[in-house]
Amino acid sequence: NAGVTQTPKFQVLKTGQSMTLQCAQDMNHNSMYWYRQDPGMGLRLIYYSASEGTTDKGEVPNGYNVSRLNKREFSLRLESAAPSQTSVYFCASRTGNNEKLFFGSGTQLSVL
Partner 1 sequence: RKEVEQDPGPFNVPEGATVAFNCTYSNSASQSFFWYRQDCRKEPKLLMSVYSSGNEDGRFTAQLNRASQYISLLIRDSKLSDSATYLCVVSRLNSGYALNFGKGTSLLVTP
Q: Which is nearer to partner 1, 17 or 67 (CB)?
A: 67
> In the complex, what is the shortest distance from the CB of residue 33 to partner 1, in angstroms, rounded to a whole number?
6
Q: Which is nearer to partner 1, 10 or 14 (CB)?
A: 10
x/- letters, 93..112, toward partner 1 (CB under 8 A):
----xxxxx-xxxx------
CA distances for 84 relative to 4, 6, 44, 77, angstroms:
26, 21, 14, 15
Kindly report the backbone phi and psi dihedral angles of residue 84, in degrees, each rounded to the nearest multiple of 5, phi listed first. -65, -10
Q: Give how far the C-alpha of residue 13 lies from the chain's centroid of Cα atoms, to the nearest Å.
A: 17
CA gap 23, 48 in Å, rounded: 12
Residues 8-67 touching partner 1, rule: CB under 8 A, are: 31, 33, 35, 40-43, 45, 48, 50, 56, 58-59
